[in-house]
Amino acid sequence: MIKTTVRAFAAVALALLPLTTLTAPAHAAETLSLHDGIEALPQAAEVRDGYERTKFKHWIDEDNDGCNTRAEVLLAEAITPPTVGPGCKLTGGTWRSYYDDTTVNGPSGLDIDHMVPLAEAWDSGASQWAAARRQAYANDLGADRSLVAVTARSNRSKADQDPAQWMPPAADARCTYLSDWVSTKLRWSLTVDRAERDTLRQLAAGCGNTDVEYERV
């Protein structure tokens, strides 16, 4: 009787194994040409109704190491590493703001830009997300270009505008910016409106072999 019970238990356990190994896998990274990436973006009208910046909680300390998302980006993108003091206070260091091709000494002159601004993300689909997904978006350290350290001046000039309304002032930055914008929208399954897609197509025509790399979340 005991042996029969053990065999029955083992059979049940084996039957359950595929269920435990078939939990949702991570999405594979994808690479597309910039042209194909633009065409892969779903098109929809933008809706700003109900947007509040506070609906995207940031900056958080997700790994509880004492450094919040802003500090993590600054540490990752520093050309010359800053000194990290108590409470993750950063001093010194140098950064390159690629939007305006400017070297910045010290962290105080930098903003951390959401490649696709929070308001634009809301307009493009994030209004339908749960609060936890909006928080994950606002603190996305899983992709190199979701968040980028740039001069406060360039970030505030950009504000919540899409490429139909604003592009980086540095000419050499523009193809990189388009690739970063499209990859972020693909990563988060965000939409584009007609004017945005038309502008992306037009600007991408001058970007040669630029690729878009992303991993959906």
Q: Alpha-carbon distance 126 to 119, whole Å?
A: 9
> Which H or E element spans position 103?
strand 102-105
CA atoms within 13 A of residue 194's CA, in its CB half-sphere: 1
Q: What is the pLDDT of residue 18?
A: 42
Please report the DSSP string for 165-182 in residue order. T---SSGGGHHHHHHHHH
114: helix, coil or strand?
Answer: strand
Q: What is the pLDDT of residue 60?
A: 98
Domain boundaries, the chain: 2-214
Q: Alpha-carbon distance 125 to 189, whole Å?
A: 8
CA atoms within 13 A of residue 131's CA, in its CB half-sphere: 6
Tally of residues, the chain: 217
Q: What is the pLDDT of residue 28?
A: 87
Low-confidence ranges of the chain (pLDDT < 50): 1-25
Tokens representing 93 are: 């260091």
CA 118 to chain centre: 11
Q: Alpha-carbon distance 31 to 214, whole Å?
A: 7
If one counts every other C-beta atom within 10 angstroms of the C-beta of residue 72, the result is 20
Mark out the alpha helices in the chain (DSSP H runs): 2-21, 34-40, 69-77, 118-123, 131-138, 152-158, 174-187, 194-204
